[in-house]
Amino acid sequence: MPRERSPFIVSSFRNVFILWTCAAGLTFSAECDTPPAKQINLDLWSTRSLSSPDKQWQFVSVGPRSSERKAVLYIQNPQTSKKWNMGWIERKGIVFWSEDSKRLFLRDEYAADDTKIRVFDLTGPAPEEIKGLNHRIQNAIFAHIPANKTTQWLYYPQACFADNDSSTIILVVDAPLVPKAESGSGKPFSLRLTVNLITLQVTDSVGGKSLGAATAPSSWHKVDAGPFSILAPSGWAFHQLPGVDSYVGEFVGDGVALRFDFGEYSSGYLKKYKKPAYVIAHESIGGFPATIASPTTPGHGVTGVYFRNVGHSNGLFLWGQDLTSAQQELVLKIFKTIRFGGAAPGYVVAPPPPQITPMFLVLPSKGRG
């Protein structure tokens, strides 16, 4: 973690580093040279608002006018006056909209020497923060930092949405390095990151190395099931299936059918799949803990991913049966692209069996001779 230090020293050293960067000729993509058309600075003393370019949304920061309290953040619909609480800031920040009004970017400077990147998505039925984003960005940064060093501060002097693509953000990282175990001056360190907000895949400026867990090719497309979605190759589709006490459906493509069960009663599915017959992995996918099981012998068993709770006590189990080695490899990649957000459609209840009207055979009475 960064060491505690005077905000004045941090600010002064940061300005020196930025000047050094310019003097040394370290240049990054010109995509962030033009500031966003709409942006505001946030603090704890003022109430600020910023309308989206299409005027369909309004971001509001309500300052408590006290350094001991937090400024509450809202996104609201001006037409209906309905608003959603999006958390708070503890110190200050800067916020701006994407040009298509689909996403809102917040650089949250919650400490004198540390910054969070937060993005709010408005493509679903309600605004929501993209979970796991800042964690993924920091992992990408620290992948380049030697084990015996840490960051003097973590700051983003440049940040923007990519041109004509609000699903991608571009960041320039300012993170001078200092020794962990001894005192010393900071060594300048800068990095350019490109982040896909759908897959959370991070690409850095050092050889274009991919640092994200989800490695979906750019040709894959989003297949939406409502409360969650996947990325999959062209041709994959979603079908809702009959369900009673949970939301049931399938994703199909490339000869594979991935069934899912989503709801309050979707639990305990992977308990019977154990080592050594199965490879069991525990990961974070879409911001939630997940358990992945795959048979050690392809073609025999279930390849599945299970989330115990993705909000509102809902679980998810998504699986494929008896997959070939190639299919299993594909499906494991698809699992890592799962993202949550949105509402489930009304459950489809299996129709009752048709009623059979009893048939009575009436025999003619025998006539008298």
Positive or negative CA dihedral for 252, 254, 256, 260?
negative
- Number of structural domains, the chain? 2
> Which of residues 170, 204, 238 is at a domain's end?
204
Residues 52 and 182 in one domain: yes
Amino acid at 5: R
Which residues of the chain are under the pLDDT cut of 50? 1-30, 207-214, 368-369
| pLDDT at site 67 | 78
Residues 156 and 279 in one domain: no
List, for residues 324-337, the tens digit of each pLDDT value. 989 998 999 999 88
Q: In which domain, by residue range, is 276 found?
A: 221-340
Positive or negative CA dihedral for 89, 93, 94, 100?
negative
Q: What pTM, to 2 d.p., does this model score?
A: 0.53
Q: Is residue 269 part of a domain?
A: yes
Buried-exposed string 72-96: b where 16+ CB fall within 10 A, e elsewhere: bbbbbeeeeeeeeebebbebebbbb
Spatial CB neighbours of 357, under 8 Å, sequence gap ≥ 6: none
| pLDDT at site 35 | 65
Answer whether 41's CB lies under 8 Å from 94's CB. yes
Residues 19 and 105 in one domain: yes
Q: Is residue 2 part of a domain?
A: no
Q: Is residue 366 part of a domain?
A: no
